[in-house]
Structure 1
Amino acid sequence: MADAVTPLATSRFHRALSRPSHLMGADRELVLMTGLATVILIFVVLTWYSALLGVAIWITVVAGLRVMAKADPMMRQVYLRYIRYRPSYRPTSAPWRRY
């Protein structure tokens, strides 16, 4: 009698566990920082011009952040890691090793 082939075990993988944390379609921290900066602009200057300028800046920046998030949802983290890289690394196995 031939051995019966059993199917592989499957389990549900919830989408919220693997998706980046976004707010309004853009990176959460950047949207909140932009909102904080525009609210500070509006309430420090307290004129109609500053309110209109603050709202215009916020709408424009959030639209740009949404385009950025659509291109790569982890672009902020990738850029922050990129700027930490050194221009060149020494050809040694450890930083404290002498040539």
Structure 2
Amino acid sequence: MSQSQHLRQTKTRRALHRPQMVWGGERELMLTSMLVAGGIIVSALNFLASVIGIILWLICVYGLRRMAKVDPNMSKVYLRQLRYADYYAPFSRPWRVAKSSRIY
């Protein structure tokens, strides 16, 4: 093979396609959970509210980190799935008769 027949390879930098994460969870969800926990703490300004806010935030961090390990963009995928639900065919078999007159 001559030199001109080889495909040119370009490097893809990791920073260009890496998901945006904060403390191991999706950025938007982690920041929202911090905002909610902080709102609980600041609105009541007592020890019990502080403990409840911190415990709530730690539970959210644990759940969001586990969710991000499965799929770093899970919330975006879920929201897109809800948006496209009208386009999905309601039946899994092509020979099954639909009850509605809508053409899929």
Cα deviation, 1:11-41, whole Å, max 9, x if unaligned, reads 2210011111111110000000000001110
Deviation at 1:83, TM superposition (A): 1.6
Where do 5+ consecutive residues of structure 1 fail to align?
93-99
Where do 5+ consecutive residues of structure 2 fail to align?
90-101
Which aligned runs of 4 or more in structure 1 are off by greater than 3 angstroms?
87-90
Q: Who is 1:51 aligned against?
A: 50
Task: Give RMSD over aligned pairs.
Answer: 1.9
Q: Who is 1:91 aligned against?
A: 103
TM-score, normalising length: structure 1:
0.80
2:72 counterpart letter in structure 1: P
1:4 counterpart letter in structure 2: S
Q: Who is 2:67 aligned against?
A: 68
**1:35 to 2:25 alignment:** no
Q: Who is 2:14 aligned against?
A: 15
Distance in 2 separating the partners of 1:88 and 1:66: 30
The number of residues matched between the two structures is 90
Task: Give the fraction of aligned pairs with identical amino acids, expressed as a percent.
Answer: 36
Deviation at 1:5, TM superposition (A): 4.4
2:24 counterpart letter in structure 1: G
Deviation at 1:67, TM superposition (A): 0.3
Q: Who is 1:97 aligned against?
A: none
Distance in 2 separating the partners of 1:88 and 1:12: 37
1:91 counterpart letter in structure 2: I
